[in-house]
A and B are shown apart, each in its own frame.
Chain A
Amino acid sequence: MTEEVSLTLTVNGREVSRTAGAHLTLLRWLREAAGVTDPKYGCGEGICGACTVLVDGQPTSACLVLAAQVDGAAVTTAAGLLEADGSLGPLQRAFHDQHAAQCGFCTPGMLMAAAAALAGGRRLSRREIRQELHGNLCRCTGYGPIVDAIEMAQEEAGQ
Chain B
Amino acid sequence: MFTRPFRFERADRLAQACDLLREHGEGAKVIAGGQSLMPLVNLGLVQPEVVIDISRADARRDVSVADGFVTVGALITHARLAADPVAARAQPLLGAAAAKIGNARVRARGTLGGSLAHSDPAAELPLVMVALGGVYEITDGRRSREVKAEEFHLGFLTSQLAEDELVVAARVPALGPGWGWSFQEVSRRDGDFALAAAAALVRMAGGGVVESRVAVGGVADRPVRLANVEISLGGAAAAELGSRVGPLNGIRPVSDTGASAGYRAHLARVLVERALAEAASRSGEAA
Contact = CB atoms under 8 A, between A and B. Distances in A.
B53 interface: yes
Contact of B31 (A60, A63, A69): A69
B105 A22 contact: no
Contacts of B262: none
Contact of A63 (B6, B10, B38, B56): B38
Nearest to B53: A69
A60 B79 CA distance: 12
Given A134-B189, A134-B191, A64 B38 contact: yes
Interface of A is mostly: mixed
A116 B104 CA distance: 9
A25 B42 contact: yes
Q: Which of A49, A60, A116 has the most CB of B within 10 A?
A: A60
Interface in A67-121: 68-69, 113, 116-117
B34 interface: yes
Interface in B21-35: 31, 34-35
Most A C-beta atoms less than 10 A away, residue of B3, B6, B38, B105: B105
Nearest to A70: B55
Contacts of A132: 104
B53 A68 contact: yes
A141 interface: no
A134 B103 contact: yes
A129 interface: no
A59 B7 CA distance: 26
A19 interface: no
Interface residues of A, number: 31
Contacts of A22: 5-8
Contacts of B38: 25, 46, 63-66
A61 B34 CA distance: 10
B190 A69 contact: no
B51 interface: yes
Given A5-B8, A23-B6, A68-B53, A44 B1 contact: yes
A66 B51 contact: yes
Contacts of A46: 35, 38-39, 105-106
Contacts of A45: 39, 42-43
Interface in B91-120: 102-106, 108-109
Given A41-B1, A46-B35, A63 B104 contact: no
Contacts of B55: 69
Contacts of B51: 23, 66
Q: Interface centre among A52, A60, A64, by most B CB within 10 Å?
A: A64
Contacts of A134: 103, 189-191
A3 B8 contact: yes
A58 interface: yes
A44 B5 contact: no
A145 interface: no
Contact of A58 (B31, B53, B108): B108
Nearest to A5: B8
Nearest to B8: A22
A134 to B, nearest CB: 5
A60 B286 CA distance: 37
Contacts of A136: 103
A60 B5 CA distance: 22
Contact of B105 (A5, A52, A69): A52
B105 A66 contact: no
A44 B8 contact: no
Contact of B34 (A2, A3, A65, A117): A65
Interface of A: 2-3, 5, 21-23, 25, 41, 44-46, 49, 52, 58-61, 63-66, 68-69, 113, 116-117, 131-132, 134-136
24 contacts: A22-B7, A23-B3, A23-B8, A25-B38, A25-B42, A41-B1, A44-B43, A45-B39, A45-B42, A45-B43, A58-B108, A59-B104, A61-B109, A64-B35, A64-B38, A66-B34, A68-B10, A69-B31, A69-B53, A69-B56, A113-B104, A135-B104, A135-B105, A135-B106
